[in-house]
Structure 1
Amino acid sequence: MDITVVGGGLAGLTAAIAGAERGANITLLEAHRTLGGRARATEPPYVANEGPHVLYGDGAPYRWLAERGLLPPHLRLPVRAAPGVRFRYRGRLGMPPAGLLRAAARRGLRAPYDRDFGSWGRERFGTETTGAIASMMGVALFDSDPSRLSAEFVWDRFLRVTTPAWPAARYMVGGWTSLVGWMADRARERGVRIATDARVDSLDALPDGPVVVATSLAAARSLLGDDSLAWESGHTLMVDLGLRRGRDPFIVFDGDECGFVERYTAVDRTLAPEGEELVQAQVPVRPGESRARTGERLERLLDLALPRWRDRVTWRRDQVARGRTGALDLPGHTWRDRPAIDRGNGVYLAGDSVAAPGLLGEVAFTSAVAAAEAATGRRPVGTP
């Protein structure tokens, strides 16, 4: 069987490898001159991802990659970083409020999918704790008001991020471009033909056979001419900073405005020159808010988190991510209601906003495997 994969990001590479495992002849076409999609990063000496990227070692995608030798060298969160975790709450930097810690201990509590998190949480934790939880989840949702989202959606991610065991986050040495390169090499070893600078404007131009469209929903909507390919996603401002080394925290969760600050070089020193740090900060854009106003709010967070950061800047990059930070489920919806993987007529969809479970980028991995298995006739779609 000949299968074409459109898109050379992590979803496309995963679909290509999964399809090749099942004996299909795979051709992967990427419009950009390099592979990676949203997993691209800046060139050294400052290696900054398009967004915050970690793998979670307790998730099915991590196990799928590890079982196949698809993971490059990667690092766990070092013990030395633990004291550097801070929480902004009521304009001050310190430890998480007691109410949030008590909520995180309620591991058996389940939330309904058909209520908003704000109203459901206030009944159980009170107004202040619910607000702190919702704002803290800006680190995983990139939305200015997570309280409006499905209670189940927000609560399940809160429990995942606050797992009591030592954090499951895994950091790729050299940034996520190392994972992209490693997966591309393994794909070629399995016989996958990869072409870059190969834009696809119409499926009619492709060879006969199943097609896996592993692009953003916006690109898939245009390619397939299907206006139903849309879903709620985040809108956030991100700032990457190279800083001369100081006494900076490892990560700051934001219980006030849904932001976060993370010092990636606390884990991987290869991401910045010797004696410097690489930091990424983000704060979601509020409805109708100007870029300048959002930037002011983000810089106030940096002022609190990073002592004298302006005097230490050696490199800076600002980026706005709109509609490219993964799916957000509103009340009354679950992942099953997102755009289906099987589009009919041998066309399948993969990406971080389609009908598959997982946290952040895990959706892309899970949907890609399901799409490849369905395209090769080995697994019914709808059972990721």
Structure 2
Amino acid sequence: MQLYDVAVVGGGVAGLTAAIYAAKAGKQTIVIEKQDRLGGRAMSNKKNGAYFNLGGHALYHGDALASFREFGLSLQGNKPSIDGYAIWNGKLTVLPTGVKSLVATPLLSWKGKVELAAWLAKFGKLDTHRYDQVSLREWIEGNVQDPMVRNIFYALLRTASYVVAPDLQAAGPVLQQLKNALQGVLYLDRGWGAAVDELRKKASDYGVRFITKSKVISIDHHNGIVQQVLCEDGTKVPAKNIILTTSPAIAHQLVPHAEATALHTWKKQAIEITAACLDVALRRLPKPKQQFVYGIDQTVFLSNQSRAAYLSEDGAQVVSVIKYQGKETDPEKDLQALEQTLDLVQPGWQDELVAKQYLPKITVCYDFMHTKRQENPGPAVPEIKGLYVAGEWASHGELLVDAATASAKRAIQHILSHEGTERTPYYEHRDIV
């Protein structure tokens, strides 16, 4: 059995990113994925010629975009227009996203328009880290005066993070995400699966080996040092370093005696975020101008991603509708809310339907930056030398896919920086939010 320098458990964006950075550094690297496809929640499904992501996906100006560009990915696609509408009291109205729409919108009083304009002007220079340890509600209620401007901020920040928990969510990271969003986002041609394909090819070019359709059941460790990955089919993968890109709960499950490690804290503090997502491919849009809609008094969001990306082989318009979920979810009621949003924005859409995908409760992230966190996860599990975690939940301030790539990078940097050190357990400082 070959001894690998780095074994990565999970072939999503975090796993592929870690594998590429490890292999680029000359490390013998292997990725073990339980499914027959790579990508995790970044894979795309093709239905009747339309490319559907697993819910709404947009690439922000953050760590993931920088990493993908560093890898040389083509990232075919375009920035969408942000001219849009808002849902308020069951009606569509102009969303204030620029000077013209700010003047035209009936949502805001003149005083509210002046305040929002002032915020948009100064937002780019905002030091978001000042608010890393206050809740989003505390920031909005303490800094925004006009009630409707507050509502708009709640909607914008909810959409930037997918999180409906303003009393828990740390304000700093999501404010930074909104700053990134204001630079524009990228919708990818043929969905995020195209980027996954490029990541796999890049990893293969660097010599990364892949094992798919193989479920990991345990991470062997002895005397505080990792030994090997054990798979359900009997496969054993010895490795000097192992990176878990699973959820915190599965990471805890895979590691014997995890209750005596930081994995227990990370699992216990994790708050999962989910969304209900309805994606439809329509032959045409009944209302061509209504392609981008924020719910203000509803936790919904609609975007025609085809307005910026190639997502259909026959010219169909691929529209994604999201309902951000809290603790209580109901698949039928959530679907009804999503379909009612489509009825309002694109009346008669069902007559134009080519393909449809409904995900009643998909995990957006297994944890996020919230005020109840005891510590930021990873990159190292301090009690077990050579064991690391990565994924969107292992955030040190980044959100969503940016957290996935940044945490993967942190894990590899840690491995490289500790090469040659004595193989004994070690501890490191982990910042608290």
Measured against the shorter chain, the TM-score band is 0.7 to 0.9
CA distance in 2, matches of 1:147, 1:92: 28
Summarize the Cα distance change of 1:146–1:313 in structure 2 as closer, same or farther, 3 Å threshold. Answer: farther
Match of 2:379 among 341, 346, 354: 341
Match of 1:228 among 262, 265, 274: 265
Q: Partner of 1:290 in structure 2?
A: 330
Summarize the Cα distance change of 1:276–1:152 in structure 2 as closer, same or farther, 3 Å threshold. Answer: same
Q: Partner of 1:315 in structure 2?
A: 355
Summarize the Cα distance change of 1:288–1:9 in structure 2 as closer, same or farther, 3 Å threshold. Answer: closer
Q: Partner of 1:217 in structure 2?
A: 248
Provide Cα deviations, 1:95-118, integer angstroms capped at 9, x if missing partner: 235354443333244452333222
Match of 2:79 among 77, 80, 85: 77
Counting only pairs closer than 5 Å after superposition, residues 130-169 of structure 1 correspond to structure 2 as 130-146=150-166, 148-163=168-183, 167=184, 169=185
Q: Which moves more between the two structures, 14-23 or 310-319? A: 310-319
Identity %: 24
Counting only pairs closer than 5 Å after superposition, residues 1-384 of structure 1 correspond to structure 2 as 2-44=5-47, 45-56=49-60, 58-69=61-72, 71-77=73-79, 81-83=81-83, 85-93=84-92, 94-96=94-96, 97=108, 98=113, 99-107=115-123, 108-109=125-126, 110=128, 112-126=131-145, 127-146=147-166, 148-163=168-183, 167=184, 169-204=185-220, 205=230, 206-224=237-255, 225=258, 226-230=263-267, 231-246=270-285, 247-248=287-288, 249-269=290-310, 271-325=311-365, 327-331=367-371, 333=373, 337-343=375-381, 344-377=384-417
Residue 216 of structure 2 aligns to a residue whose secondary structure is: coil
CA distance in 1, matches of 2:134, 2:347: 40
For residue 133 of structure 1, report the CA deviation from its aligned partner: 1.1
TM-score by length of 1: 0.87
Do 1:32 and 1:198's aligned partners in 2 also have CA atoms closer than 8 Å?
A: yes
- How many residue pairs match? The answer is 371
CA distance in 2, matches of 1:173, 1:265: 9
Amino acid at match of 1:229: W
For residue 282 of structure 1, report the CA deviation from its aligned partner: 0.6
Q: Which moves more between the two structures, 11-20 or 144-153? A: 144-153
Q: Which moves more between the two structures, 308-317 or 12-21? A: 308-317
CA distance in 1, matches of 2:119, 2:89: 18
Summarize the Cα distance change of 1:54–1:203 in structure 2 as closer, same or farther, 3 Å threshold. Answer: same
For residue 13 of structure 1, report the CA deviation from its aligned partner: 0.8
Summarize the Cα distance change of 1:369–1:381 in structure 2 as closer, same or farther, 3 Å threshold. Answer: farther
Summarize the Cα distance change of 1:147–1:228 in structure 2 as closer, same or farther, 3 Å threshold. Answer: closer
Provide Cα deviations, 1:146-198, integer angstroms capped at 9, x if missing partner: 354223233333333234xxx1x223221111111111111111111111112
TM-score by length of 2: 0.78
Provide Cα deviations, 1:184-224, integer angstroms capped at 9, x if missing partner: 11111111111111211111233041101122333223222
Do 2:303 and 2:321's aligned partners in 1 also have CA atoms closer than 8 Å?
A: yes
CA distance in 2, matches of 1:288, 1:273: 37
CA distance in 2, matches of 1:143, 1:60: 20
For residue 378 of structure 1, report the CA deviation from its aligned partner: 6.0
For residue 76 of structure 1, report the CA deviation from its aligned partner: 2.3
For residue 74 of structure 1, report the CA deviation from its aligned partner: 1.3
Residue 413 of structure 2 aligns to a residue whose secondary structure is: helix
Q: Partner of 2:425 in structure 1?
A: none
Summarize the Cα distance change of 1:295–1:133 in structure 2 as closer, same or farther, 3 Å threshold. Answer: same
Summarize the Cα distance change of 1:227–1:66 in structure 2 as closer, same or farther, 3 Å threshold. Answer: same
Do 1:341 and 1:381's aligned partners in 2 also have CA atoms closer than 8 Å?
A: no
Do 1:252 and 1:260's aligned partners in 2 also have CA atoms closer than 8 Å?
A: yes
Summarize the Cα distance change of 1:317–1:346 in structure 2 as closer, same or farther, 3 Å threshold. Answer: same
Amino acid at match of 2:137: G
Provide Cα deviations, 1:238-273, integer angstroms capped at 9, x if missing partner: 10111120233332122222321111111223x224
CA distance in 2, matches of 1:159, 1:11: 23
Do 1:144 and 1:257's aligned partners in 2 also have CA atoms closer than 8 Å?
A: no
Structure 2 segments unaligned to the other structure (5+ residues): 97-107, 221-229, 231-236, 420-427
Between Structure 1 and Structure 2, whose CA radius of gyration is higher? Answer: 2
Summarize the Cα distance change of 1:319–1:176 in structure 2 as closer, same or farther, 3 Å threshold. Answer: same
Amino acid at match of 1:89: W
Do 1:132 and 1:256's aligned partners in 2 also have CA atoms closer than 8 Å?
A: no
Amino acid at match of 2:150: T
Residue 243 of structure 2 aligns to a residue whose secondary structure is: strand
For residue 137 of structure 1, report the CA deviation from its aligned partner: 2.5
Root-mean-square deviation over aligned CA pairs: 2.6
Structure 1 segments unaligned to the other structure (5+ residues): none
For residue 67 of structure 1, report the CA deviation from its aligned partner: 2.5
